[in-house]
Structure 1
Amino acid sequence: MSKVSVLVVDDAPFIRDLVKKCLRNYFPGVVLEDAVNGRKAQALLLKEKFDLILCDWEMPEMSGLELLTWCRQEESLKTTPFIMVTSRGDKENVVQAIHAGVSDFVGKPFTNEQLLTKVKKAMHRAGKLEALMSGGPARTSSGLANDSLSALTGGKAEVVRSAPAAPAGSPLIRPAAAPAAAPAGPSAAPAGRGQGQLRLAGGNQPCVIKALSLKEALLLVRTSDTLPQILESAVLDLEQGDNAEVARLNGYLHAVSAFEQKPDSEWLQLNFRFVDQDAQKLDYISRLIARGSAQKHFVPGA
């Protein structure tokens, strides 16, 4: 039986590695290729045949939506399953992609189970699920977790620190005054450079942005029953521009610690590392850093 081939398209190496390792562990016989943007993917699709395309939306040179539109115009790619793996889950974006011919969506951040469910569903519709599952026994969930850890850290786990250091050559913006030892009241949030929304696989959490660089953000979130996990994939939403467009920054949690030095700390401090290579997003972060603080705050649910 012929092997199933999958093309993974994303400008972030972290996302590409995470997707490929997940698929390789669950479908040992799968053939995987990747591309850093739609333009590179287009060149591969003109030379090789793929049974499934997993593609990001926001990428330099050619976006996922542009690649999808091109694919549906090509006779050989009109029916190829195309799954958008993206943080763009807004209704207007979903409708736009459906009109362009998308097969399905996987929202960022995603769990291995969510990704695998969508892949199996698409392959079943295409009549190729049996071929995809025929490569041999899948590894256990612990294997998936270990591969995800390796993809994030290169095989070396980082030690959690209570106050992560700034990257060399990219100083973090920090508040002029140190925050109080504890919040003023049950609903009071510590002062910061702005507000945002942190999207995790288990749900969304409003956050306070304490510091920001081109590589990472230092965030505060309220302690809850479900604690964020180190190396967990996430998306940070920030409002930008005069039209209040939302910048979606993909990344992972590099460190998690208590904000206050006491066992019942109401706030957690998260070190969120960016993985995007998109020039527009990097430019936005640069301008935000240059201004010293966010002039507009993202209000979850608004």
Structure 2
Amino acid sequence: MKKVKLLVVDDASFIRDLVKKAVKDRFPHFIFEEAINGKKAMSMLEKSEYDLVLCDWEMPELSGLELLQWMRNEYQYNKTPFIMVTSRGDKENVVQAIQAGVSEYIGKPFSNDQLVKKVIKVLSKRLPRDVLEGKATKSALESSVSQGSISALGAKAVGGAPAKAPPQKAAPAQSGSVAALTGGTSAAAKPQAGKKPTKGPAQLRVHDKTIPCEIQDISLKEAKVIASREHGIPQLLDTAVIDLQQNDSAGDVARINCLIHTLQAPEKNINAGNIVISVVFVDEDPQKFDYLSKFIASGSGKKYW
């Protein structure tokens, strides 16, 4: 039976592991290979065939958009499904990806369920259901018998048939609209009234909420922000994206992938209106480290991504 092979491309090993785990929990029979950037992915695509590419946008050497454009211009890869997995959720970025030929688009942070639904939507258009679910067809079983694969069939009889997959909801009709790919975009962060930020306003995005906040402290490895409880409280170990707004310009925003590390009340009061959130950065892009260095030193810097 055909093996389903996916290529996961991201410069951050943490994000690659996150993507693989989310999909493998639902499809344990899938085969995964990974690349640290678009250049490495290009080399791997030239040597092997993949059923799906899940790729970040912002990467050193060759970005996800550049990889997608190259694939769509090459005959042997121009039909390969491509899901962009990125913190770039702005309308203009989504439109750019659509124009380049992206199959689907999902913003960071994402839930496992959101990612799996995108994967099912894309692969179900190309693969038979039995291949997608890892089930051998009747003809495949008969072929195994004719070839003398008795041991393989014996193992199947002992282990039992694979569990029937839960019914999937029908995928929505394909649409060229931005909303169909992103589910909407978040608004620019605004500082809370009466608060003077240390390094400027920011917003923290987890998969189900956007939390306006202010930066209390920041380093190359982590940041501490304060936010109002009225906007919701994230869960410990949630993946997130922190948007750092520069120079009071809503258009100059840096996006850093992170993990919720600690949650703390700033005062010993059950009615405390604020919460202090510590996040650990998981990006491994040298450009982002360089940007953070300048941001920490001066509170402003050139927009890199």
Q: Normalising to structure 1: TM-score of the pair?
A: 0.77
Determine if the alignment matches structure 1 residue 269 to structure 2 residue 279.
no
Question: Does 125-134 or 263-272 show the bigger shift?
Answer: 125-134
Matching residue within 208, 211, 214 for 2:217: 211
The percentage of counterpart residues that share the same residue type is 48
Cα RMSD, aligned residues only: 2.4
1:253 is matched with which residue? 260
Q: What's the secondary structure of 2:230's corresponding residue?
A: coil
Question: Which has the higher Rg, Structure 1 or Structure 2?
Answer: 2
CA 1:43/1:295 → structure 2, altered by over 3 Å: closer, same or farther? closer
Q: In structure 1, how many angstroms separate the alpha carbons of the residues matched to 2:107 and 2:246?
A: 21
Distance 1:117 1:260, change over 3 A: same
- Name the CA distance, whole Å, in 2 between partners of 1:126 and 1:219: 44
Closer, same or farther: CA 266–241 of 1 in aligned 2, 3 Å:
closer
What does the per-residue CA deviation read over 1:109-130, in whole Å, with 9 as the maximum and x for residues that have no partner?
A: 0000100000000001223553
Q: Map 1:105-144; keep pairs closer than 5 Å.
A: 105-134=105-134, 136-137=162-163
Q: Which residue is 2:38 aligned to? A: 38
Instruction: Show CA shifts across 1:1-43 (max 9, x none).
Output: 2110000001111110011111111101000011110011111
* Distance in 2 between residues matched to 1:78 and 1:110, nearest whole Å: 27
SS in 2 for 1:125: coil
Distance 1:236 1:253 in 2: 10
Q: For the Cα contact (< 8 Å) 1:3–1:30, is it kept in 2?
A: yes
Offset at residue 245 of structure 1 (A) = 2.4
Query: Is there any run of 5+ residues in structure 1 with no aligned partner, and where?
Result: 141-185, 297-302
Task: Give the corresponding residue for 2:244.
Answer: 238
CA offset digits 1:264-285 (Å, max 9, x no partner):
2111111111111222221111
One-letter code aligned to 2:207: A
Q: In structure 2, which of residues 263, 282, 290 is the aligned counterpart of residue 283 of structure 1?
A: 290
Q: Displacement of 1:91 after TM fit?
A: 1.1
Deviation by residue 1:153-180 (Cα, 9 ceiling, x = unmatched)? xxxxxxxxxxxxxxxxxxxxxxxxxxxx
> TM-score by structure 2 length?
0.76
Do the aligned partners of 1:7 and 1:33 also contact (CA within 8 Å) in 2? yes
Aligned to 1:76, what secondary structure does the other structure show?
coil
The answer as to whether partners of 1:12 and 1:276 remain within 8 angstroms in 2 is: yes
Q: Is the 8 A contact 1:11 1:278 kept in 2?
A: yes
Structure with higher RCO (Cα < 8 A, 6+ apart): 1
Give, in angstroms, the shift of residue 188 of structure 1. Answer: 3.4
Identify if the C-alpha distance between structure 1 residues 43 and 242 changes in structure 2 by more than 3 Å, giving closer, same or farther.
Answer: farther
Alignment-derived partner of residue 197 in structure 1:
203
**Structure 2 vs 1, CA of residues 261 and 117 (structure 1 numbering), >3 Å: closer, same or farther?**
same
Change in CA separation of 1:77 and 1:61 when aligned onto 2, cut-off 3 Å = same
Distance 2:294 2:51 in 1: 41
Q: How many residues align?
A: 250
Q: Letter of the aligned partner of 2:82 in structure 1?
A: F
